[in-house]
Structure 1
Amino acid sequence: MTTSKTTVFLTGATGYIGGSVLARLLRHPSAETFDITVQTRSPEKVKLFEKFGVKAVVGTNDDVDQLEGLAEQAHIVFSCADADHLSAINAILRGLRKRHATVGDLPTLIHTSGTGVISTPAKGMFASDTIYSDLNVEQIKSIPPEALHREVDLAVVDANEKGYANTYIVLPSTIYGFATHQLVDAGISNPISIQIPSLIRPSLDRKQAGVVGAGKAIWPDVHIDDVADLYIVLFDSITANPDGVGHGWEGFYFGENGEHTWYDISKEIARTSVELGVGGTDEPTSFTDEELIKYWGSVDSGNYSGTNSRCRADRGRSIGWEPKYTTKDMITSIKPTIEFLLEKARK
């Protein structure tokens, strides 16, 4: 007797999060029953994906007709490419809507957002008292429509409300650590985060660790392995009991296991920079407005690393997610990240 395949479409497979999720699907106990398709910009990577039994097509988030068609063919879509690409998510949703109308099943969308959606400006000068719980639906509903990532998140929830897909949103926080899996080893996926390196690179360039304001604002943090595990715990819970897992407005899943001030990160960059002979003192100095523009394109963009974003991943824990890494591990990860970036710059 042949088991019918579960069709999966995953975007962002060459990225830090998407690659880590795909690697876990390939190692999943039910991996033999998955029929996985991904997108890649690189024709060369199509062949590399095929070696892992993954179908790959050349395309990007801007290829909306392709996205719509691939989503229509999939029972489960993992959207891991871009939290703010509205036309891409709308194309995926059109595909899922068509699938529901023609095949008659209720497809699943697991979309990647981020805790930037609850971030509030502070310019690094104070910590916020407001802490969000993903089990508090009214609090989640109260996030303003103009918040970062929110426009896309609302489109995803709307699909659930209209009843043609069950939708779930994973919201990672400050992600850290090296992705170490078979797709990184094969040169397919990105091994490193964007967030902490975006503070390290300017610090290396100015030969002095920098911080926005006084670095007093607070953010949550989570290791890449724990984030990827959250997607799989969620996927397994949906597979085992779709009615028992919150979706739509009850389908927001924060990714956090502890929190830090921005100063904590900048202080460790400063300490490590001195230790490695990069230069500067072991105390970070505030970025000037000119530096915020130089390194981030605008003062507002630079001040993002001085915002508050506080939350608790209660919903993920309620379905069995058990993150292992803590804020202490995040601080410890900064030195090898600096060494990696220095080595990359040398090459």
Structure 2
Amino acid sequence: MPSVFLVGPGLIGGEVLDLLLINKEYEITTLVRREAARPAFHELGVKTVLGSLSDKTVIASQTASSDIVIHTATADDLPSVQAILEGVQERTQRGQQAIYIHTSGASLLGDNLEGSYKSDLIFDDEKESSIDALPDSAAHREIDLAIVNARKELSSHAKFGIMIPPVIYGVSTRERRLSIQLPTMVRYSIKHGYPGMIGQGLSVWNQVHVKDLARGYVTLLHWMEQASCNEVAENPYFFCENGEELSWGQCAAEIGRILHKAGKVADPTPKTIPTENYDDLFGEYSGLVVGSNARNRANRLRKLGWRPQEKSTFASLEEDEIPLILQETGEFNGYAAPVASGTFESKK
């Protein structure tokens, strides 16, 4: 039975975990930060190791003893990725194969147009060269490059895949977790009393429901298990989008409609967010994370048989996410966790 080490059993990882548990085809171990979190996983038949992303020895050791590693905790933690690569290298030195699926993000593709217009540039994951042509300073790129460079050295025994999700939406099954981008826009709109957008809101991103994204990971994993090392080494990049492109202005308008209906904003009409309020979004990365263009096509996953199945972004917002957000208490002061790396320059 193949062994899987899951780093990050949260929004994405929790859904991937549930899918891997269905057919009982894998022996799964996950990294947990707190002792109190371990019993819930043990009840599911999942083993645990205690540690954080900064515990390189723990991560490297578990990677070295695992056939498969799936990192869904963050796209922006280089030390944990370096630890995984150390573990993968140890396996290859013993003549053992390894599979590593890493989570990046479509901010990698983002521009600095800050809502000024819809870009014509669409990335295709069958064209590896277009992604590799991105600047080293692009969001997430430093971390992705660590994997791309390791692939050159270790690809005779190791298989590397980089999943690049767009806007993720939906609510996780067991812990009722929410995604980042749209819920932050909702919380901003509630706090400030109007649906906000960056600039004119014309920039566009693709969308994917977290459950469809999790199916994408499992589709990718099953292909990587069957494909040769040489075949996998040809191109590490995979997009995962449901065919729905939305501008940030459209998202703000829908948030405004729903919040107006709930009595949370007086006027549903979107307004431009002043730069001095960006700390109530994503700080210096606000223009990139909820104001850029990041258009892409998941041609590779579709050719492997993956298809989106879940409800649309706006149906999910109205039926699932916003009702949960309206139950939240306490003051919202922006999204505090890291959302991007690199040296993206805002226009302001």
In structure 2, do the counterparts of structure 1 residues 289 and 38 end up closer, same or farther at CA, with 3 Å as the change threshold? same
> 1:35 and 1:50 mapped to 2: Cα distance?
12
Q: Which residue in the other structure is 1:340 paired with?
A: 324
**Aligned equivalent of 1:74, options 63, 66, 69:** 66
Shift of 1:223: 0.8
Shift of 1:246: 4.9
> 2:269 and 2:234 mapped to 1: Cα distance?
43
> 2:203 and 2:280 mapped to 1: Cα distance?
22
Secondary structure, counterpart of 2:202 in structure 1: coil
Q: 1:255 is matched by which residue type in structure 2?
A: C
> 1:66 and 1:159 mapped to 2: Cα distance?
20
Secondary structure, counterpart of 1:250 in structure 2: coil
Identity of matched residues, %: 32
CA contact (8 A) 1:238 1:245 kept: no
Q: 2:146 is matched by which residue type in structure 1?
A: A
> 1:253 and 1:219 mapped to 2: Cα distance?
16
Secondary structure, counterpart of 1:89 in structure 2: helix
**Aligned equivalent of 2:132, options 133, 138, 141:** 141
> 1:256 and 1:245 mapped to 2: Cα distance?
26
> 2:207 and 2:307 mapped to 1: Cα distance?
14
> 2:286 and 2:180 mapped to 1: Cα distance?
14
- Larger displacement relative to structure 2 (52-61 or 331-340): 331-340
Q: 2:297 is matched by which residue type in structure 1?
A: R
**Aligned equivalent of 1:12, options 4, 8, 17:** 8
CA contact (8 A) 1:209 1:280 kept: no
TM-score (norm 1): 0.90
CA contact (8 A) 2:204 2:247 kept: yes
Q: Which residue in the other structure is 2:241 paired with?
A: 256
> 1:49 and 1:67 mapped to 2: Cα distance?
18
Q: Which residue in the other structure is 2:28 paired with?
A: 36
CA contact (8 A) 2:68 2:98 kept: yes
1:149-193: CA deviation from partner (whole Å, max 9, x where unpaired): 11111111222211252100111100111222xxx1xxxx45211
Q: Which residue in the other structure is 1:281 paired with?
A: 267
Q: 1:237 is matched by which residue type in structure 2?
A: W
Secondary structure, counterpart of 1:344 in structure 2: coil
CA contact (8 A) 1:172 1:227 kept: yes
Shift of 1:108: 0.5
Q: Which residue in the other structure is 2:76 paired with?
A: 84
1:242-321 equivalences under 5 Å are: 242-243=227-228, 246-248=231-233, 250-257=235-242, 258-298=244-284, 300-302=285-287, 304-321=289-306
Secondary structure, counterpart of 2:279 in structure 1: helix
**Aligned equivalent of 1:210, options 196, 212, 227:** 196
Q: Which residue in the other structure is 2:165 paired with?
A: 172
In structure 2, do the counterparts of structure 1 residues 215 and 16 end up closer, same or farther at CA, with 3 Å as the change threshold? same
Q: Which residue in the other structure is 2:313 paired with?
A: 330
1:188-247: CA deviation from partner (whole Å, max 9, x where unpaired): x452111211111110001111111110000000111110001111112222x2228953
The answer to whether the aligner puts 1:93 opposite 2:85 as a matched pair is: yes
In structure 2, do the counterparts of structure 1 residues 238 and 295 end up closer, same or farther at CA, with 3 Å as the change threshold? closer
Q: 2:51 is matched by which residue type in structure 1?
A: G
Q: 1:308 is matched by which residue type in structure 2?
A: N
Shift of 1:280: 2.5
Secondary structure, counterpart of 1:345 in structure 2: coil
- CA-atom RMSD in angstroms: 1.8
Instruction: Please state which structure has a larger fraction of its residues in helix.
Output: 1
1:23-73: CA deviation from partner (whole Å, max 9, x where unpaired): 11011x3x1x42211111121111111111111122110111111101101
CA contact (8 A) 2:185 2:281 kept: no
TM-score (norm 2): 0.90
> 2:144 and 2:92 mapped to 1: Cα distance?
20
Shift of 1:249: 5.2
Shift of 1:313: 0.3
> 1:270 and 1:64 mapped to 2: Cα distance?
44
Unaligned runs of 5+ in 2: 331-348
Secondary structure, counterpart of 1:127 in structure 2: coil
CA contact (8 A) 1:131 1:311 kept: yes
Shift of 1:304: 2.9
Secondary structure, counterpart of 2:326 in structure 1: helix
Secondary structure, counterpart of 2:29 in structure 1: strand
Q: 2:101 is matched by which residue type in structure 1?
A: I
> 2:256 and 2:170 mapped to 1: Cα distance?
18
